[in-house]
Structures are given as structure tokens and as C-alpha cells.
């Protein structure tokens, strides 16, 4: 078992911010042998074990990542003999599957997607506008939709306003489980890569930068094998400074969003205890290292909690702070999405508008994010696993009992 500690990225925090929790990587995954999630070099090595020329890797990779074939037996461009031998050796495709769907009145869909060890993870599909029709109203089945992807089961960061935090951290997702959420949802909606516009936001359950390697492996698979442009991806972090610094060095990477959520360390510490480890100034210094591409902007998210961080003085303070960042940026204002037993209030609509206006007055472009799927707990910060399924009786189910739907 690997324990997160403060010497690496994986700092895991509970209420006081000091306790360390185990961060489990997927247990027993090496015995399961899923192919989905492996990059081409790894697939080539497997083929070579079976004395098959590495040049066939393209066929296998296309079957998995482009054609979304779920059963090895259906990969008919490989010989039957090879398919049988792979299966006998325990290999299978292992694309995660959607086990439950919740549909919102606004068209948003929230899925529970099962992983190999019987855990479930949440993924959200947000169709844009007229849901499946072209923007001009013609019925072409054209999509411009967004998939919100999880990076961990639960989260260790313990932001006080976030429902996912209540789960604690259960385990890291593998690269296959992260990229697999995307493919499972693309397949459900018969999305055509190259024709339909798909945006990915890594803003589901978990802190992507506390599962850095698997998250970035998944990004590379999605870009190089599945075929989604990195410019259509955004990752949000609560501010894991070493992760931001590593991210700044990546040749292929999504756009970056930072969950700022407060205009000073005092307020931020109350609502995001991780501030005690890396304060706002550390974050600002780290994001300045990220080389931006042409027209790229940093995003700062700001969850508005009524009476806590939504005063006009906070908008002034945030404006001042963000001007000092000295990089192209914008603010996304998110009205707090309520959850059961949480001691916060939504700010009144006029306050949200005033806050936005004040930021703009201070020279900061600010947008109010439309809440999606609130009625099905699919909106930001509402993702919390609601059902545990057990698909593999050989593996343990982690002790988690949902306390509300
Ligand atoms: N862990 C990452 C990404 C997932 S959370 C992060 O914290 O950035 C995605 C966004 O949802 C973050 O900006 C977070 O501040 C916001 N969020 C969390 N709980 C929320 C809630 N109840 N209402 C509105 N936004 C929330
Ligand atoms: Fe984790 Fe993000 Fe929720 Fe904070 S807001 S607890 S980092 S998922």
C-alpha cells in the first residue's frame, strides 16, 4: 500500500489537514490484464510476447481506441489463434461500462461507470444547446458536447463545500479507467470523432494532480489514440503546487483551471484546508510557470458561497490578486451547488451578477457558469458515488455506505 506523504505530490488531507490517508492505486490490476489503457509501446510488448510482429499494434490499438470494440473475440483483424491465446493468458479489453444513468431535465446525464474491482465512478455528459441537432437547427446529429471526467474515486482534499470530499479518498483511477469513462460515453452517444465537437473537462470526482501519472497517461491516450484535441480539454486543480509545476513542463497538455474560490488565504483556508500547505501566492507563482499557447487563457474558478466569499470587497480583492498574475486569464463564477448536510447557502442571483460586474470593473473577464444537472446531483461538486456494485467476487469492496441518494 502506498501512503501519500508531503514529500511527493500525493498529500492526502482530512479535516485538520494533517492526517495522512492511504492513496490506493488500483489493487490487483496487474492480475486483471485489461488492454484498454495501455499505450502502443505496452501493446507492442504484449504482442511480441506472443511472437506477433509489433507492426500489428496499429490494428489492435485502432480496434480498442477508435472502433471501441469491447470484446477481444470481435477484433477480427487479428487472427483467431492470437485472440484465443491472449484470452487464455487473461487479457481482455476491459472498457469500463455504464451501469446506471440519471437523466436531468436539462439534458445532462450522469453515469455510474463500473471499474474492474466493483467500484463505481461518476461521469457526466452535458449536451450543448439543442442536444443532438446542429447549431443551425438542421437535424444532422451533430454534437458539441462536454464530458466531465473523474480522476479518483472520492477525493482527499476535503474542500468543505464539496460533496465528493465526503467520500474521502477510496483509490486512484488507472489511465484506462480515466480514458475509459470518455470512450464509454462517446460510444453511448455514437459520437463521431472528427465530425462532432467534444470537450473534456477533468472536473469530476477527485483531484487529477494527486493522481498525476495516470491522469496524464489518460490525456495522451485520448489525444493520440482516441483523437480528441488537447485544446478541447481542461483540467481543474484545487492547487497542488508540485503538480502544476510538472504540468508546466508537459509538451501535450489540457488547458489549466485553478480552483481559487477565495480572495485571500484566511477565507480560502476555511473552505479549502489545502491552502495551509500551498497558499495563494504559491499557486500564483506556480501558474506563472505554465507556458500558454496562442490565445490560451488560464481559468480561475470561484465557487460563490453566500455570505462567505461573495462580498464586493472580495471581488475587489480577487481582482487585485488576479491582475498581479500578469497572464491572460478569465474567471468562471460557479454558484455553489447545494448538497445535503452542508453548512453553506447559495448567494442570491443579484449578488452573483454584482460580483461578476465588479470583477469586470476591475479588468477581469468573468463568466457565470450555467449549472447543469443539479436535479440529478451532476453539477460541480455534487458527484458522489451513490451505488456500490460488486462485479468481481475475488476482489474486496471498499467499506463505503452511501448515506443519501
Ligand atoms: N478537484 C478538482 C476538480 C474537481 S472539482 C478541483 O477542485 O479543482 C471541480 C470544480 O467544482 C472546482 O472548481 C470546485 O471548486 C467546484 N466545486 C466543488 N464543489 C462545488 C459545489 N458544491 N458547488 C459548486 N462548485 C463546486
Ligand atoms: Fe476534491 Fe475538487 Fe471536491 Fe476539493 S473541490 S474536495 S479538490 S473534488
Give residue 337 CA to ligand 2 midpoint distance, Å.
13
Question: Grid coordinates representing 300?
Answer: 480561475
| Three-class SS state of 246 | helix
Q: Given the CA of residue 155, which atom of ligand 1 is nearest to it?
A: 1
Give residue 259 CA to ligand 2 midpoint distance, Å.
9
Closest CA to 402 of 104, 57, 122, 201: 122
Question: Grid coordinates representing 260?
Answer: 481559487
Helix segments in 50-174, DSSP class H: 57-61, 80-88
The third-level CATH classification (topology) of the domain covering 37-92 is DNA polymerase; domain 1 (1.10.150)
In this prediction, residue 24 carries a pLDDT of 73
DSSP for residue 117: T
Contact residues for 401 (Cβ-Cβ < 8 A; gap 6+): none
**DSSP secondary structure, 319-368, as one string:** HHHHHHH-S-EEEEEEEPPP-TT----PPPHHHHHHHHHHHHHTT--EEE
Question: Grid coordinates representing 404?
Answer: 443519501
What does R_g of the chain's alpha carbons equal in angstroms?
Answer: 21
In this prediction, residue 8 carries a pLDDT of 36
In this prediction, residue 135 carries a pLDDT of 35
CA distance 181 to 124: 9
Catalytic hit among 148, 159, 162, 380:
380
Q: What are phi and psi of 335, to 5 degrees?
A: -70, 130
Helix segments in 14-168, DSSP class H: 29-32, 40-49, 57-61, 80-88
Domain limits, the chain: 37-92, 95-376
CA distance 101 to 88: 33
Pocket perturbation via mutation, ligand 2, pick of 121, 170, 238 by most ligand atoms within 8 A of CB: 238
CA distance 275 to 115: 32
CA distance 224 to 58: 12
Q: What are phi and psi of 45, to 5 degrees?
A: -60, -40
Per-residue pLDDT 10s for the chain (405 aa) are: 343 433 333 444 443 334 444 567 777 776 779 999 999 999 999 999 999 888 899 999 999 999 999 999 999 999 999 999 999 999 999 999 999 999 988 889 999 998 878 888 999 999 974 333 333 333 445 568 999 999 999 999 999 999 999 989 999 999 999 999 999 999 999 999 999 999 999 999 999 999 999 999 999 999 999 999 999 999 999 999 999 999 999 999 999 999 999 999 999 999 999 999 999 999 999 999 999 999 999 999 999 999 999 999 999 999 999 999 999 999 999 999 888 889 999 999 999 999 999 999 999 999 998 777 777 776 666 766 554 433 333 333 322 222 222
Q: Is the CB of 124 under 6 A from ligand 2?
A: no
Question: Grid coordinates representing 352?
Answer: 452573483
Q: Note the maximum CA span of the chain.
A: 70
Q: What architecture does CATH give domain 95-376? A: Alpha-Beta Barrel (3.20)
Q: Is the CB of 332 under 6 A from ligand 1?
A: no
In this prediction, residue 378 carries a pLDDT of 67
Q: Is the CB of 237 under 6 A from ligand 1?
A: yes
Is the C-alpha dihedral spanning 259, 261, 263, 266 positive or negative? negative
Is the C-alpha dihedral spanning 157, 160, 162, 163 positive or negative? positive
Half-sphere exposure of 36 (CA within 13 A, CB side): 29
Q: What are phi and psi of 313, to 5 degrees?
A: -65, -35
Instruction: Answer whether 37-92 and 95-376 agree in fold.
Output: no
CA distance 114 to 61: 22
Reduced 3-state DSSP string for 130-158: CCCCCCCCCCCCCCEEEEECCCEEECCCC
| Residue 158 zone, left/alpha/beta (φ > 0; ψ -120 to 50; rest) | left
Helix segments in 189-327, DSSP class H: 212-220, 241-247, 265-271, 280-287, 312-325
pTM for this model (two decimals): 0.88
Amino acid at each position: 500500500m502506498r501512503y501519500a506523504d508531503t514529500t511527493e505530490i500525493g498529500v492526502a488531507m482530512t479535516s485538520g489537514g494533517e492526517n495522512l490517508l492511504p492513496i490506493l492505486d488500483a489493487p490487483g490490476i496487474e492480475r486483471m490484464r485489461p488492454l484498454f489503457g495501455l499505450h502502443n509501446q505496452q501493446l507492442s510488448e504484449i504482442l511480441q510476447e506472443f511472437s506477433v510482429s509489433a507492426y500489428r499494434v496499429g490494428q489492435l490499438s485502432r480496434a480498442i481506441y477508435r472502433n471501441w470494440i469491447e470484446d477481444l473475440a470481435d477484433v477480427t483483424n487479428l487472427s483467431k489463434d492470437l485472440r484465443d491465446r491472449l484470452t487464455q493468458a487473461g487479457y481482455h479489453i476491459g472498457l469500463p461500462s455504464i451501469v446506471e444513468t440519471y437523466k436531468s431535465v436539462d439534458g445532462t446525464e450522469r453515469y455510474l461507470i463500473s471499474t474492474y474491482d466493483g467500484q463505481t465512478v461518476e461521469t457526466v455528459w452535458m449536451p450543448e444547446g439543442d442536444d443532438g441537432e446542429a447549431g443551425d437547427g438542421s437535424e444532422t446529429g451533430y454534437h458539441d458536447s462536454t464530458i466531465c471526467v473523474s480522476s479518483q474515486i472520492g477525493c482527499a482534499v476535503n474542500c468543505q463545500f464539496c460533496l465528493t470530499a465526503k467520500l474521502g479518498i477510496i483509490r486512484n483511477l488507472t489511465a484506462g479507467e480515466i480514458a475509459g469513462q470518455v470512450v464509454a460515453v462517446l460510444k453511448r452517444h455514437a459520437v463521431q470523432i472528427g465530425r462532432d465537437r467534444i470537450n473534456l473537462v477533468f472536473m469530476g470526482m477527485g483531484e487529477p494532480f494527486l493522481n498525476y501519472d495516470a491522469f496524464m497517461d489518460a490525456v495522451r491516450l485520448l489525444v493520440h489514440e482516441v483523437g480528441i484535441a488537447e485544446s478541447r480539454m481542461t483540467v481543474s486543480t484545487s492547487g497542488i503546487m508540485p503538480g502544476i509545476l510538472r504540468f508546466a513542463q508537459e509538451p501535450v497538455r489540457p488547458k489549466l483551471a485553478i480552483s481559487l474560490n477565495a480572495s485571500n488565504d484566511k477565507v480560502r483556508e476555511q473552505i479549502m484546508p489545502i491552502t495551509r500547505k500551498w497558499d495563494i501566492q504559491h499557486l500564483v507563482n506556480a501558474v506563472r510557470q505554465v507556458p500558454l499557447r496562442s490565445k490560451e487563457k488560464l481559468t480561475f474558478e470561484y465557487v460563490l458561497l453566500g455570505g462567505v466569499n461573495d462580498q464586493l470587497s472580495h471581488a475587489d480583492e480577487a481582482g487585485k490578486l488576479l491582475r498581479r498574475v500578469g497572464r491572460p486569464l478569465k474567471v468562471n463564477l460557479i454558484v455553489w451547488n447545494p448538497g445535503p448536510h452542508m453548512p453553506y447557502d447559495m448567494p442570491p442571483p443579484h449578488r452573483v451578477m454584482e460580483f461578476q460586474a465588479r470583477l469586470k470593473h476591475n479588468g477581469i473577464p468573468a463568466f457565470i457558469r450555467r449549472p447543469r444537472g443539479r436535479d440529478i446531483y451532476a453539477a460541480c461538486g455534487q458527484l458522489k458515488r451513490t451505488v456500490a456494485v460488486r462485479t468481481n467476487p475475488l476482489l474486496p469492496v471498499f467499506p463505503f455506505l452511501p448515506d443519501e441518494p
